[in-house]
């Protein structure tokens, strides 16, 4: 393991200051010899040019570029080829992979952690997210960040291509996922925020990823020792789970089972499944569990009516009218739903037995099998009882359940399908 090259994976929203950070790291690397791989969504890789201009390295001498695609999807093969070529052609101490402002870090990290020729050469050391702190706060204060402003900022500071403005994914949604998959979060442009606002941003980061270190920066100035040779990434460590997953896991441990009543619903009386991060801004979370399916139209309405004070919610829902597990993810004003694989309980008995034998800890109900809803809500000063009541009202009635369910409405019904429930 000690012969492998450590990798720092850098992500962040448009205009947050990623390219400024890379130039800073190259300038202040000291005795470290750093190789950099940058990605831009345009046909011309602006990031690579800016980094090359800001350092003594040529683009072909330690700064590799991938253009006109996203390294978390279209350019996976190119990414693998590039990092293998770098390792074969140059001697260096660390690799920094900078994804575009609309890339997710998880698929990039996965390339370095699965059995492959890349994993034989590299190891993921640290996942770093750079935030435009003002944009981050505004995204979860009931105001939608303006994409136009974000792209203008990227042209001024970060070099991200303006074509990213046409990206299909809301910035707030992606911003949250980047934070959730971080070991270190840079609260950049701190000079544009008050101390109280920076404190609030730190608490929001803590709610989304409790174990992430936060560093307040201006012009992305940070000690390179905070980002290199840290050994912070551990794909198997439960403490690295994002806030919503940890809240769900801890609620499950404390609950001690489903507590279902005779109708198959979870009896929540006295079991509110709270998980309260310690903070001064009232960032709290709760878990909503039920063993009764939702009426899709009513659930969509309840989700669209979530207050702005709910920063993040995510989990699996049981919908009437489909055998697919549906994952709902909300980040600020954006809510999306994706149909995943079928409920095990919907499979033939032979397949059910096979899956259950491989998953001894599977939460299984005598009547409903693994069908259930588990949703985590994270936010500030929300009315938990009102949210729970709205969700309860969206469950199918006894009569609807007897009738066999209802159409899936705005939700996806086929595996891999994704729909937008609420957009900014």
Note whether 255 and 382 are same-domain residues. yes
| Residue range(s) defining the domain that contains residue 130 | 5-238
Note whether 314 and 198 are same-domain residues. no
The Cα-based distances of 388 to 200, 245, 354 in angstroms read 26, 19, 35
CATH number at residue 256: 3.30.1220.10
Q: Residue 142's pLDDT is what? A: 43
Q: Residue 252's pLDDT is what? A: 56
Note whether 159 and 261 are same-domain residues. no
Note whether 266 and 301 are same-domain residues. yes
Q: Residue 62's pLDDT is what? A: 40
Domain edge (last residue) among 238, 256, 288: 238
Note whether 260 and 190 are same-domain residues. no
For the record, the structure tokens of 178 come out as: 């980047």
Task: At 180, give phi and psi (nearest 5°).
Answer: -60, -30
Q: Residue 138's pLDDT is what? A: 84
Cβ atoms 212, 184 nearer than 8 A: yes
Note whether 303 and 413 are same-domain residues. yes
Q: Residue 245's pLDDT is what? A: 62
Domain edge (last residue) among 204, 238, 272: 238
Domain edge (last residue) among 238, 260, 287: 238
Note whether 234 and 255 are same-domain residues. no
Q: Residue 147's pLDDT is what? A: 32
Q: Residue 197's pLDDT is what? A: 93
Q: What is the DSSP string of 209-258?
A: -TT-EEEE-STT---GGGTSS-----TT-GGGS-HHHHHHHHHHHHHTS-
Cβ atoms 147, 165 nearer than 8 A: yes
Note whether 285 and 232 are same-domain residues. no
Note whether 301 and 394 are same-domain residues. yes
Q: Residue 332's pLDDT is what? A: 76
Q: Residue 326's pLDDT is what? A: 94
Per-residue pLDDT of the chain (424 residues; tens, 9 = 90+): 458 889 999 988 767 888 789 888 888 878 888 888 876 433 223 344 434 333 333 333 344 443 333 333 334 556 778 788 878 877 888 888 887 554 667 777 877 877 678 888 888 999 999 999 998 888 776 443 333 233 334 434 444 443 333 334 455 677 888 888 899 999 999 999 999 999 999 988 988 888 899 999 999 999 999 999 999 987 554 345 566 666 666 555 444 333 333 333 443 333 334 333 333 345 678 889 999 999 999 999 999 999 988 877 888 999 998 899 999 988 778 898 989 889 999 999 999 999 898 888 888 999 999 999 999 888 878 999 999 999 999 999 998 887 765 566 899 988 889 999 998 7
CA 352 from centroid of its chain's CA atoms: 30
Question: How many domains would you assign to the chain?
Answer: 2
Q: Is 168 helix (H, G, I), strand (E, B) or coil?
A: coil
Q: Residue 1's pLDDT is what? A: 42
CATH number at residue 197: 3.40.50.300
Note whether 43 and 152 are same-domain residues. yes
Radius of gyration of the chain (CA): 23
Cβ atoms 123, 112 nearer than 8 A: yes
Q: Residue 215's pLDDT is what? A: 97
Note whether 268 and 210 are same-domain residues. no
Note whether 186 and 251 are same-domain residues. no
Query: Whole-structure pTM over 0.75, yes or no?
Result: no
């Amino acid at each position: 393991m000690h012969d492998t090259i450590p990798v720092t994976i850098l992500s962040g929203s448009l205009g947050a200051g990623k390219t400024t950070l890379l130039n800073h790291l190259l300038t202040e690397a000291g005795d470290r010899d750093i190789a950099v791989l940058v990605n831009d969504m345009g046909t011309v890789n602006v990031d690579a040019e800016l980094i090359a201009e800001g350092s003594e390295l040529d683009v072909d001498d330690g700064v590799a570029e991938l253009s006109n695609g996203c390294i978390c999807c279209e350019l996976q093969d190119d990414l693998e080829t590039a990092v293998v070529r770098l390792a074969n052609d140059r001697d260096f101490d660390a690799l920094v992979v900078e994804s575009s402002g609309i890339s997710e870090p998880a698929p990039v990290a996965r390339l370095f952690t699965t059995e492959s020729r890349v994993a034989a050469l590299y190891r993921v050391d640290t996942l770093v997210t750079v935030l435009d702190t003002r944009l981050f706060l505004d995204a979860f204060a009931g105001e939608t960040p303006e994409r136009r402003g974000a792209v203008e900022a990227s042209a001024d500071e970060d070099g991200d291509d303006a074509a990213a403005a046409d990206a299909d994914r809301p910035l707030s949604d992606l911003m949250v996922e980047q934070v959730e998959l971080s070991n270190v979060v840079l609260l950049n442009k701190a000079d544009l925020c008050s101390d109280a606002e920076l404190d609030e941003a730190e608490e929001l980061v803590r709610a989304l990823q409790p174990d992430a270190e936060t560093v307040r920066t201006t012009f992305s100035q940070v000690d390179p020792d905070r980002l290199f040779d840290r050994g912070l990434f551990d794909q198997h460590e439960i403490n690295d789970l994002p806030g919503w997953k940890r809240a769900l896991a801890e609620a499950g441990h404390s609950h001690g089972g489903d507590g279902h009543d005779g109708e198959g619903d979870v009896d929540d009386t006295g079991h509110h499944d709270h998980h309260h991060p310690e903070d001064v801004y009232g960032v709290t979370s709760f878990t909503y569990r039920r063993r009764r399916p939702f009426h899709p139209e009513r659930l969509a309405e309840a989700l669209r009516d979530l207050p702005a004070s709910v920063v993040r919610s995510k989990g699996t829902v049981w919908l009437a009218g489909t055998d697919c597990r549906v994952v709902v993810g909300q980040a600020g004003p954006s809510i999306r739903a994706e149909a995943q694989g079928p409920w095990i309980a919907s499979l033939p008995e032979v397949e059910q037995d096979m899956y259950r034998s491989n998953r001894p800890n599977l939460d299984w109900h005598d009547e409903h099998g693994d069908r259930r809803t588990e949703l985590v809500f994270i936010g500030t000063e929300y009315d938990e009882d009102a949210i729970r009541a709205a969700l309860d009202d969206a469950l199918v009635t006894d009569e609807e359940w007897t009738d066999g369910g209802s159409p899936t409405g705005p939700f996806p019904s086929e595996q891999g399908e994704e729909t937008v429930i609420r957009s900014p």
